[in-house]
Every structure is written in structure tokens, then in C-alpha cells.
Structure 1
Amino acid sequence: MEVEPFSLPLSTPLETAAGIIETRRGFLVRVDIEGTPGLGEATPLSGWTESRPACEDALRAVDDPTSALSDNRLADTPAARHAVSLATLDARARAAGRPLYRYLGGDGRVEAVPINATVGDGTPEAAAAAVETAVREGYPAVKLKVGARDPEADLDRVTAVRSKAPDVELRLDANGAWSERTAKRLLPEFADRDVSVLEQPLSAGSLDAHARLRDRGVDIALDEGVVEHGFDAVLAADAAAVLVCKPMALGGIDVARNVVRSARIAGVDAVVTTTIDGAVARAGAVHLAASLPGLRPCGLGTGGLLGTDLRSDVAPVTDGKAAVPQGKGNIPPR
């Protein structure tokens, strides 16, 4: 197995709760499965996965990719497992002569999957203008970042967005910024403004507190909470109506697919998103979404945040949809 480091600068530094991200650094992984090559990507992200050094150590310790996956030795390094799993699935899909989404179990040809636009923190006027642009570009859903400002300011932003875009599906992502009391006060206001989903309103620690926010007119989604507690615990606590599944943080598109399918059986919805990954991992996430019919619009349009990428024109976004690669495996080799 070959491990190749890479570094991808962002087009504009991104401020997050964990700090400012200027560059995404990770590893391309190349495997050979019974004579067929496969390519995977590990792009660790602080707060979501293992550290970059831990990821590299785990990858360089792998001598047999198949054994490393079967004996679960990569369970504590999800980004490393993601890379090995994606590379292995890529090779097997190529050997089978099928696009990855078909190899995963997708039924029929899927040309594209709907995705959401993301609008960051800004004034009410700026948020409304950005959402108007997203609607014109064909996005069926928009996720508005909230929680960085006073709650009343966020209400003003949501009101402004709705005045300009009354019909688009509107989601909010608070990244754990609020207290339970604040969230309970805001939820009826959001419901009145036809907000469909409120993602991670509270910190990831308390599932019971999220459960107490359920059934208030807006679906509660968990993102960080899924990674911290695991799907079984989220389900047992009845803490979410929607799971936000990041393959890189969960340990692979195979793991994420099992989570989505199990959630659906339990009556819980799910979406697939990325962690500002390179083109190899983003393509894998698009294949994952394509293999699961009926998903809500997913968060797969993050390639525009990168100044450079591992590949060009992979799963391009047009009219609010990401094109699904149709060649053998994940993406065409080069």
C-alpha cells in the first residue's frame, strides 16, 4: 500500500469553532486488490477525526488493506480507515466493472444527486442576497449558519431570508452554540418561519437535552453528536430526527452507508456531508449519496472552498446537483 501526503490550500481561510482552517492536509492511499488498483483519501480534521500524525502512523502501519479492515485495527483512526476502505471499494468496483455507487448497492443509473448550498454568518441583507443567489443557481435547500451572533440577530437573518426566498427548504446549523433554554425559545420562532431542520443546536455532550427539543415544529439534526456518541446511542436517546453523516469522521463510506440504512429502518432521516475533503473523498461521498435513493439534499458542494484540488472536474455541481461519476470505481484513474 502506498501513502502519499498532499496539501490543499483553501481559497479563503475558514473560521470554525476549532480555529481557522487555511489548508487541508491529508494522504492519498493506493492499494492493489488482486491485481486491480484502488485510490483512497484520508483528510483528518481536528475535532472530528484523529490528528494528522496519528492518521499517518496508522496508514503506514497497514501492510494488508483487507486484513486491516476485517480486524478493525483502524477503528480509532476514522480518517485512516476511510482512506483504506475507499481505496479497497474503488478497486473492487473497478474489478466488477461498475461505478462505485452501483457496487455499493445502488439500483439503476443515477446521473446526479441534489445538494444544499451553505450560507455563512453575515448581516440579514447579506444572508438574504446569498440565499437568493443559491435559489437562482438551482439549489433545492440552503443551510444557514447561526449561533455566532445574538439569537435575535439570527432571527432577523432568518426573517430576511424568508422574505426573499419563501419556498426554498431552509436549514439552520448552530454548531452547538446555544443552551437548551435558548433553543427552546427559538424553535417556535423558527417553525413560524418554516425552517425545516435545526442542526446541532446544543453541544454534543448531552443527548437527553437534544431529545427534549424534539417535536417543536422543526426537525432536530445531530452532526457532532453522531460522531461523539455513535448512532446506537443517538437512537436510544431519541435525540434526533435527522443524522448528518460525514464519511471521513465515521470511518468510511461503508460505515456511513450502514448508519444511514439503519437510521431509516428506525424512522430517522439522514444526509451525507463532507469535511472539506479533496476530490477523491468528495466523489466517494457523492457515490454514497447516489446509492441511497430518496436522501434529502446533501452537503457535498464543498469543493469550491479549495484553492487547488486533487483532481479537476470531479462530481461538478450544476443546478444545485452534484454529477455522479459513471466510470468504473470511484473516479477515473490517472
Structure 2
Amino acid sequence: MKISKAALHPYRLPLRSSWLTAAGGFGEREGWLLRLDSGCGARAASGYGDCAPLPESAAETPAAAASWLCAQARRLIGMQVDDALQAIGPAPGDAPAARLALETALLDLAAQAAESSLATYLRAKQKDVPAGPAPAALAVNAALGSIDRLADESVDSACRAGFRILKLKVGVAPIDHDIEQLRRIVALLPPGVQLRLDANRAWSGAAAEYFLRRCADLPIEMLEEPLAEPTLEQLRSLQGQTTIAIAIDESAERLDTLRILQDAPVRRLVIKPTRCGGLLAAFLLAQRALAAGLDCVVTSSVESACGVTAAAHLATAIGNQLAHGLATSEWLAADTGAPPTIVDGRLLLPHAAGLGFMPGKGIAFSPIADWPLEE
């Protein structure tokens, strides 16, 4: 299967309301949808990838990502898909979102050729992973945004939709206000529903300890990134003081992922494919984390439907029983296509070989050759 053509579609997707965190916020997602074509006639196939640079990334702007995509995709024209996967090399530090898009499109084509879902294909590519098809569905948490803006109706709606884990952003408001709002929300929860909190590095060590003491009686399943200036020692101490799973996300690179895997100071590691620079690198990281005693949660950064679908295949391939953070598509007022369906708190993977993503109406691609390279 040779790559015959490559094309891009630029997008700006407005959010229904601003995505606010202690680290800032954004009101739209900007990026690029990549299409790689192969074969012709009855053997023709298209693979898709989503390039959505993280909003907080200063190095990988959408323009820089597009330039990297164009340069790399142009040199892959005429290559076999497997050779192209080898040619793009390991994930770079300067263009992880662009590399993710290119690798995803190649893996989409490869999985279609193998007549398997992308999740099953990912499992088959890794050593020491049980053979056989990946599950067709996985649990996901509701993404309800900042606790400071959360209405009772949103909590009730998520619970009625079958979500068993509700994720909230904390750390934007003063800590006692957050605790007061948490107790208000907990009073609304039916039995068995738990909360997952993300502080986005809002607090000092003393503030995080205070928060955990005050919330020890609440049904909190996970607290993500509580410390503003985390060290492995601080995280280990904090995890030792609570039964709540502490999770590392954006601070993993700063703390050195290798040391985290060696020391396992907390119970969970959050994996964002965009930050990892590819699905294969993310899957390998998850396997290494599992061997180190860390559970993994795959999360979206409000990518388009293509990116969320790819992340869902990754989470399904990992195969743990945790709820993953992939129910973010409702935040978008427009999208690149239909996102995966969520029923009773579970995301359903497309019934198709490969990624299973199709662009929506009005998505127009331009050949890579038409895009100028950034100087």
C-alpha cells in the first residue's frame, strides 16, 4: 500500500463556552486535519489524522505544525505505509501534535489494510500484549468544566446520561470556595457516582494537604496535578496522606518521565497523545507505566472528532477498567466530523477497519503541494 497523495484542511472550532483552568483557558481549538490517500479503484483508501497543538504550547504554533506536516508528508509520497512509519522516526519535541497527526493517518491506512480496528492493530504492534480484538467500548468520565461555573442541571444531566465519574476543574477560585462548591455538588450525586478533580498545578504543598484533609469524606476518585511546583518527594508524601489517587499530567516532562516510572510517587499517569507525539509512543508509555505499578488515564484536550476517535482507540488498546477523559466533543460548537457515540457513560468505537473517522460535510482538503513551507 503506497501513499499517493496528501492533503490538509485548516480549522478553527469554537467552543460552546470557554474552557477554564487554573493555568488559563481558551475559547476555540485551532488545527489541521490531514488526509493521506493510497491505492486506486477498489483498493483506494484514505487515512486521517488530527493536528491540534495544545493551546498552552508556545513552541508548536498551528503555523509551525502545518509547516512540519507539509515537509514530512511531501517526502512520504510514493512510500509504502510501513516504510513511512519507519521514516518519520521517534516523536520530536518540537512538533508533537503534527507528528501525531501524520502517524495516526499512517496507522489508519495500515489498520485498514490489516482489516482490523486501529485499537486492535495497536495491540498487535506491541510485545507482551494479549492477542485478539480490542473491546468495542470503554468507560469515560463526564467533562463538566470549572466547578465555579457548574450548574446543578449539568450535574443532574451527566448522572442521568449514565456517567459514573464526573470530572471538574478546581483551583480557579479560592480553595475554600472550591470545597464549598464540592459539597454542594456531592449533595446532588446519586449513589455510586464519584468525582475526578483537576487542579492544573494551582496549589502549594500546604494548600493541597489542606484540601485533601477537608475533602477526605467526599467521593473523590482522583486529584490531578495538585501542586504548582511539584517534586517527586512532595508528590509521594501527598499520595501517602490520602486514599484518593493522585495523578500526574503536564508536569511529567518537567519531572522526567523516566524517574516517574522508576519511583512511581503517585498512583496514576495521565496520557495525552498530543503531548506524546504519537499513538505508538503513548501506548508504549502506558505499558511501561503499568509495569511500574501506575494506572493510566487517556485524556483529550478538546481535540476535534478525529483526534478524540484516535485517543479512544489508544485507550481501548490499553484496556484497563478506568474511565478515560474523552467525552469532550460536546464542548465544541462545530467539529470536523461525527465524534464517537457515548451511551450510558461508555464511548463506542466505530464499527470499521482502521480509525473509523470520516470528515463531515463542508470539510475541504487542499493538496499538500499547495501549502507554502514556513521559513
Write the distance in 2 (CA, Å) between the matches of 1:262 and 1:204. 25
Q: 1:121 to 1:26 in 2, by over 3 A?
A: closer
Report sequence identity in percent. Answer: 32
Counterpart among 96, 101, 113 of residue 83 in structure 1: 101
Is 1:14 paired with 2:19? yes
Q: Partners of 1:123 and 1:174 in 2: how far apart? A: 12
Deviation at 1:184, TM superposition (A): 1.3
Structure 1 residue aligned with 2:117: 99
* Structure 2 residue corresponding to 1:206, chosen from 207, 227, 231: 231
- Offset, 1:252: 1.6
Distance 2:308 2:357 in 1: 14
Contact 1:225/1:234, CA 8 A, preserved across alignment: no
Quote the residue 2:246 is aligned against.
220
- Among candidates 337, 344, 350, match of residue 319 of structure 1: 344
Cα distance between partner residues in 2 of 1:265 and 1:288:
17
Residue of structure 1 equivalent to 2:325: 299
CA distance in 2: counterparts of 1:117 and 1:45, whole angstroms: 21
Aligned to 2:64: 54
Change (3 A) 1:37 1:229: farther
User: What does the per-residue CA deviation read over 1:256-289, in whole Å, with 9 as the maximum and x for residues that have no partner?
Assistant: 1111111111110110011110111111111111
Q: CA deviation at 1:13?
A: 3.0
1:259 alignment partner in structure 2: 285
SS in 1 for 2:216: helix
Equivalent residues of 1:148, 1:177 under 8 A apart:
yes
Conserved 8 A contact 1:141-1:170: yes
Deviations 1:95-153 (A, max 9, x none): 111111111117335232110012333459x5555333322210011112211122112
CA distance in 2, matches of 1:13, 1:215: 35
Q: Report which structure shows greater RCO (CA 8 Å, sep ≥6).
A: 2
Deviation at 1:231, TM superposition (A): 2.6
SS of alignment partner, residue 214 of structure 1? helix
For the aligned residue pairs, the C-alpha RMSD in angstroms reads 2.3
Deviations 1:282-326 (A, max 9, x none): 1111111111222310110111111111112x3112211111112
State which drifts further: 51-60 or 235-244. 235-244
Counterpart of 2:154 in structure 1 is: 130
TM-score computed with the length of structure 2 as normaliser: 0.81
1:269 corresponds to which of 292, 295, 298: 295
1:247 Cα shift? 0.6
1:250 to 276, 281, 285: 276
- In structure 2, relative to structure 1, the CA distance for the partners of 1:154 and 1:231 (3 Å cut) is same
Specify which of 356, 362, 366 is matched with residue 331 of structure 1.
356
| Inter-partner Cα distance in structure 2 for 1:175 and 1:52 | 23
Larger radius of gyration: 2
Q: CA deviation at 1:228?
A: 3.7
The answer as to whether partners of 1:85 and 1:252 remain within 8 angstroms in 2 is yes
Q: Is the 8 A contact 1:204 1:228 kept in 2?
A: no
Q: Indicate whether 1:3 and 2:3 are aligned.
A: no
Change (3 A) 1:213 1:73: closer
Partner SS state of residue 54, structure 2: coil
CA contact (8 A) 1:119 1:127 kept: no
TM-score, with normalisation over the residues of structure 1?
A: 0.90
1:282-293 matches, cutoff 5 A: 282-293=308-319
**2:49 counterpart (18, 21, 40):** 40
The whole-number CA distance in structure 2 between the counterparts of 1:230 and 1:91 is 33
Choose which of 205, 221, 227 in structure 2 pairs with 1:196.
221
Q: Of the candidates 191, 204, 217, which is equivalent to residue 179 of structure 1?
A: 204
**Residues 51 and 12 of structure 1: is their aligned pair in 2 closer, same or farther, counting only changes over 3 Å?**
same
What corresponds to 1:66 in structure 2?
85
Kindly provide the amino acid, as one letter, of the partner of residue 293 in structure 1: G
Q: 1:160 aligns with which of 161, 184, 195?
A: 184
C-alpha displacement of 1:69: 2.2
The alignment partner of 1:224 has SS state of coil
Of 10, 15, 23, the match for 2:28: 23
Q: Which residues of structure 2 form unaligned runs of 5+? A: 1-5, 77-83, 124-130, 360-375
